[in-house]
A and B are shown apart, each in its own frame.
Chain A
Amino acid sequence: MGEPGQALAVPEDFPVSWQHAEEAGLFWTRESVHFPDPVVALFDAFAQVHDAGFRAAFETYGVPVGAYHLRRINTYVYASAEPLPLPGEEMRTRTRQAEEQLRSAASRLMERWRGELLPELEGHLAYWRSLRLGEVTQSQLLDLLEDTLDRQRRLWEIHFLVMVPTLFAMSQFDEFYNEVLPGGDAFASYRLVQGLGNKTLEVDRALWQLGRMARDLEPVRRALDLPAREAVQRMGDSGEGRRFRQALDAFLARYGERGDHIMFSEPSWVEDPTTVLKNIRDFARDDARDPEAEWRQLSVARERAIAECRQRLAAFPRPVIDEFENLLRCAQEATIISEDHAHYIDHSGMYHLRRVLVEVGRRLARRGAIREPADVFMLRLDEIRAGLSASDGADGFAPAVADRRAEMAHFARITPPPALGTRPGEEPPQDALTIAIGKFFGRPPEDPGDAEIVRGQPGSPGTARGTAKVVLSLTEAAKLQPGDVLVTPTTLPPWTALFATAAAVVTDTGGVLSHCAIVAREYGIPAVVGTGRASSVLKDGDTVEVRGDQGEVRVLARSRPA
């Protein structure tokens, strides 16, 4: 992996040409939690918006880190945080001050989220929903695009304004809990913040209700076996089917801006409801578990665990009890917000960026600058601006688009290295915020295990056996049958309805505070996260045992000899 301070070796099939010499001196790691797949050329424009939002939020809290960059390198997303050259003592002082700020932000976060940030987000979304994109002129569309990018910058600022204190609060509570109530398992503190409900679970619950409705309607059950488009058409053939389609349309009107990915180049459920129908089909089975009942049990267990903790702390000094109650409340609120913010920003916000870009694509395609609207994602922002400013004729982006599509296809077959650039000279400081962010992104396991034991980190407790199904994207989700073990590079919130029927989940990325781990605990299924390699080592059909508490997966039988 290279010595500290040394440039990392670049694999032959992954040549890197840095735009600026300084970039080679930074330490770049793959951001595969949110971006497991190759991304389009236009991603760099999004990265700028995202980085600016990050910077603004970190400045607000006075967190002493340098600029943070997302960068598309050979079509894969890498991230780097520039170190801030501060003398050790000043760094410690500023870190302490930032922690104070984050603590106070966390204690007022729900109030600020509900009273100020969520209404602002809803304002931006209402603005985009009000746009009649088909009716504006080309130059108005360019203005709308610029306006959209400005608003996106603010969305991502809000994203980090919310997420930084959120992760901080959850991590602080876990640390405090284990200090005052030692001896619990890896999940002891998280049992006190589960079963509270959030937007992700609200969507899953709505899917469950559609599933129950479908179970009782024979024509709908039959239609669900067809591919999505045909299934929806077939429902129109009967009264019962039409009744169900009304319910489905209401669901999509409410939650359809979500999609399988967090990426503007990918369709949302409104455009392609395949995943929605897959979830409904699973929930229509007679043996489907009732998530409602399970959440009720979880909240009973939560209240029991809290009461037990209060009893154990009863004779402690009051400042300890007060801090416990304060951090518990902050962590509970943070657990809700950590899922809810994604609904408005990562999903709806991204969908509206997509809508504007698709309209831009239509105009450029109509003028012959590109072949089809989706080609717009293969352009750079400066090319789009030039294209929208030009008034005539084909500007000939087609060759560039073809090259970039070929590039994406090429790198999709190549495994990108986990890190690029230069390994930092010294280990980054392990302050409370770094630890908190580490619990979200995870870290590579110290001992990756061998071929028959895959090690990661505990994500959700319990042990389960099942048939492994390696799902690289939600388009492959159909092969996941109830009782199977979901093995995947990463899971984002829209995947979680699968947790209701899966026996367990195993990911390559993420930590104990990742979306995947949080929601797996809500569903009460074992999870092992951050294995670094489960999706490449395990194969479809392998019989595996997932041990959530130990953070390891054992292969009991291979589907075919290795």
Chain B
Amino acid sequence: MDLVWLGGAAGGDRLLVGGKAAHLCRLAARYPVPAGFCLTTQAFRQWRAAAGPDDLPRGVRTTLAKAYRDLGGAQGTSDPAVAVRSSAVDEDGSEASFAGQHDTFLHQRGLAAVEAAVLRCWRSAASQRALHYRRQRGLSPEGTGLAVLVQLMVAADVAFVAFSVDPVDGRRDRAVINANWGLGESIVGGHATPDTYVVQKASLDLVSSRIGSKERMTVATAVGTTEVATPRILRERRALTGEQVGSITRLLLELEADMEGPVDVEGAIAQDRIYLLQCRAVTRLGPADA
């Protein structure tokens, strides 16, 4: 099986779709995760077995083209913007966080761009650097393979990163939300000081909100993304309404209950709808938990 849809029956098979995708697939059944599919570890192995590293195996290529077209069909377009991410079998487990080790290509548009992004994910997993990293952590150098996740891009008005515990002092009764305009890379990459909202989890009361300087924001370009300066009026304005802070906190609480432990979440708001992009168990906690 070269391709699996998010939310589909085989989506939970970690050996087939990697840790990240398997996890998202489970979440997709219950939460607003953007639609997408996964090129499986089997597709990766076919590519590695084939001679040319610059081409997709013929069968995989046909499957990818159809899936990409179908993904756009639901949106009424033949070339939807998508995010292409690697999803490794032994990545993103709750015991070891490999975040950032593998690749993400945002806002890819058109089949050619998607194919190129898939190839880059595969090549990167097979690179010397990746092999060295795996060896250092005592993992098998071959690995059990890499899957590639292709998901509809959310045209985010606001992006947020939220924690179901206070990541600074470890307090478990509080949730903390960071938010900025545009796509989430400016927050994750630390290129802008986001707004910070602290919420009392039991009452959903806002404990404090600090308007961050939000110097820059990530916006989509024709293919890919770029960072631009944020206009002053929006720098001074809060990115989330009180209502949105409440909705995000409720989502956090549900995820925390589901995952039976503290979580951190990446999400986006587009056209007033909240999307869940990523959810991880928090692997390290601050002093209150120690």
The answer to the question of B228 belonging to the interface, with a C-beta cut-off of 8 Å to chain A, is: yes
- A173-187 interface (Cβ within 8 A of B): 175-176, 179-180, 182
Query: Are B157 and A175 in touch, CB under 8 angstroms?
Result: no
Query: Are A315 and B228 in touch, CB under 8 angstroms?
Result: no
What's the Cα separation between A319 and B157 when bound, in Å?
7
Once A and B bind, how many residue pairs between them come within 8 Å at the CB atom? Answer: 44
- A293-316 interface (Cβ within 8 A of B): 315-316
- B204-246 interface (Cβ within 8 A of A): 217, 219-221, 228-234, 236-237
A176 nearest CB neighbor, chain B only: B231
What's the Cα separation between A176 and B270 when bound, in Å?
22
Query: Are A180 and B231 in touch, CB under 8 angstroms?
Result: yes
CB distance from A240 to the nearest CB of B (A): 58
Query: Are A179 and B231 in touch, CB under 8 angstroms?
Result: yes
- B238-277 interface (Cβ within 8 A of A): 270-271
Query: Are B217 and A317 in touch, CB under 8 angstroms?
Result: yes
Partner of A315, one of B219, B230, B234: B219
Residues of A within 8 A of B220 (CB): 315
What's the Cα separation between A515 and B21 when bound, in Å?
61
CB distance from A96 to the nearest CB of B (A): 8
Query: Are A317 and B219 in touch, CB under 8 angstroms?
Result: yes
Partner of A317, one of B157, B229, B233, B236: B157
Query: Are A319 and B271 in touch, CB under 8 angstroms?
Result: no
The answer to the question of A320 belonging to the interface, with a C-beta cut-off of 8 Å to chain B, is: yes
Query: Are A315 and B231 in touch, CB under 8 angstroms?
Result: no
Query: Are A317 and B231 in touch, CB under 8 angstroms?
Result: no
A314 nearest CB neighbor, chain B only: B220
Residues of B within 8 A of A176 (CB): 231-233
- A70-84 interface (Cβ within 8 A of B): none
Residues of B within 8 A of A96 (CB): 236
The answer to the question of A323 belonging to the interface, with a C-beta cut-off of 8 Å to chain B, is: yes
With A315-B155, A316-B182, A317-B181 known to touch, is A179 a contact of B229 (CB < 8 Å)?
A: yes
A432 nearest CB neighbor, chain B only: B232
B180 nearest CB neighbor, chain A only: A317
Residues of B within 8 A of A323 (CB): 231, 233-234
Residues of B within 8 A of A319 (CB): 157-158, 181, 234, 237
Residues of A within 8 A of B149 (CB): none
The answer to the question of A172 belonging to the interface, with a C-beta cut-off of 8 Å to chain B, is: yes
The answer to the question of B156 belonging to the interface, with a C-beta cut-off of 8 Å to chain A, is: yes
CB distance from A525 to the nearest CB of B (A): 31
Query: Are B156 and A317 in touch, CB under 8 angstroms?
Result: yes
The answer to the question of A560 belonging to the interface, with a C-beta cut-off of 8 Å to chain B, is: no
Residues of A within 8 A of B237 (CB): 319
Residues of B within 8 A of A179 (CB): 229-232
What's the Cα separation between A315 and B220 when bound, in Å?
6
Residues of A within 8 A of B230 (CB): 179
Residues of B within 8 A of A327 (CB): 233
Query: Are B232 and A175 in touch, CB under 8 angstroms?
Result: yes
The answer to the question of A20 belonging to the interface, with a C-beta cut-off of 8 Å to chain B, is: no
The answer to the question of A318 belonging to the interface, with a C-beta cut-off of 8 Å to chain B, is: yes
What's the Cα separation between A179 and B230 when bound, in Å?
7
Residues of A within 8 A of B271 (CB): 318
What's the Cα separation between A316 and B217 when bound, in Å?
9
Residues of A within 8 A of B234 (CB): 319-320, 323
A103 nearest CB neighbor, chain B only: B233
CB distance from B108 to the nearest CB of A (A): 13
A321 nearest CB neighbor, chain B only: B157
What's the Cα separation between A182 and B226 when bound, in Å?
14
Partner of A320, one of B107, B181, B270: B181
CB distance from A309 to the nearest CB of B (A): 13
Query: Are B228 and A317 in touch, CB under 8 angstroms?
Result: no
What's the Cα separation between A320 and B270 when bound, in Å?
13
CB distance from A430 to the nearest CB of B (A): 12
The 0/1 profile, CB within 8 Å of A marked 1, for residues 67-98 of chain B is: 00000000000000000000000000000000
CB distance from B229 to the nearest CB of A (A): 6
B156 nearest CB neighbor, chain A only: A317
Query: Are A172 and B219 in touch, CB under 8 angstroms?
Result: no
Residues of B within 8 A of A318 (CB): 155, 157, 270-271
Residues of A within 8 A of B157 (CB): 317-319
CB distance from B257 to the nearest CB of A (A): 31
The 0/1 profile, CB within 8 Å of B marked 1, for residues 145-179 of chain A is: 00000000000000000000000000010011001
- A406-429 interface (Cβ within 8 A of B): none
- B181, B219, B233: most-surrounded residue (chain A CB, <10 A): B233
Residues of B within 8 A of A172 (CB): 233
CB distance from B233 to the nearest CB of A (A): 6
B217 nearest CB neighbor, chain A only: A317
CB distance from B227 to the nearest CB of A (A): 12
A326 nearest CB neighbor, chain B only: B233
CB distance from A18 to the nearest CB of B (A): 40
CB distance from B166 to the nearest CB of A (A): 27
- A172, A176, A319: most-surrounded residue (chain B CB, <10 A): A319
CB distance from A11 to the nearest CB of B (A): 42
Residues of B within 8 A of A317 (CB): 156-158, 181-182, 217, 219
B272 nearest CB neighbor, chain A only: A318
Query: Are A316 and B231 in touch, CB under 8 angstroms?
Result: no
Residues of B within 8 A of A320 (CB): 181, 231, 234
Residues of B within 8 A of A180 (CB): 228, 231
- B156, B158, B231: most-surrounded residue (chain A CB, <10 A): B231
- A388-406 interface (Cβ within 8 A of B): none
Residues of A within 8 A of B232 (CB): 175-176, 179
What's the Cα separation between A315 and B107 when bound, in Å?
10
CB distance from B202 to the nearest CB of A (A): 31
- A175, A315, A317: most-surrounded residue (chain B CB, <10 A): A317
CB distance from B159 to the nearest CB of A (A): 9
CB distance from B10 to the nearest CB of A (A): 34
- B107, B155, B237: most-surrounded residue (chain A CB, <10 A): B155
Query: Are A315 and B233 in touch, CB under 8 angstroms?
Result: no
What's the Cα separation between A316 and B226 when bound, in Å?
11
Residues of A within 8 A of B158 (CB): 317, 319
What's the Cα separation between A316 and B181 when bound, in Å?
9
What's the Cα separation between A316 and B107 when bound, in Å?
13
B220 nearest CB neighbor, chain A only: A315
What's the Cα separation between A561 and B229 when bound, in Å?
52
- A308-367 interface (Cβ within 8 A of B): 315-320, 323, 327
What's the Cα separation between A208 and B234 when bound, in Å?
45
B237 nearest CB neighbor, chain A only: A319
The 0/1 profile, CB within 8 Å of A marked 1, for residues 147-190 of chain B is: 00000000111100000000000000000000001100000000
What's the Cα separation between A319 and B181 when bound, in Å?
8
What's the Cα separation between A87 and B166 when bound, in Å?
35
27 A-B pairs with CB atoms under 8 Å apart are A96-B236, A172-B233, A175-B231, A175-B232, A176-B231, A176-B233, A179-B230, A179-B232, A315-B107, A315-B155, A315-B221, A316-B182, A317-B181, A317-B182, A317-B219, A318-B155, A318-B157, A318-B270, A318-B271, A319-B158, A319-B181, A319-B234, A319-B237, A320-B231, A320-B234, A323-B234, A327-B233
- 8 closest A-B pairs by beta carbon, nearest first, are A179-B231, A315-B220, A318-B157, A317-B157, A317-B182, A317-B181, A176-B231, A316-B219
Known: A96-B236, A318-B270, A323-B233. 13 other contacts (CB 8 A): A175-B231, A180-B231, A315-B219, A315-B221, A316-B182, A316-B219, A317-B157, A317-B217, A318-B157, A319-B234, A320-B231, A323-B231, A327-B233
Which residue numbers of A lie inside 8 Å of B, CB to CB? 96, 172, 175-176, 179-180, 182, 315-320, 323, 327
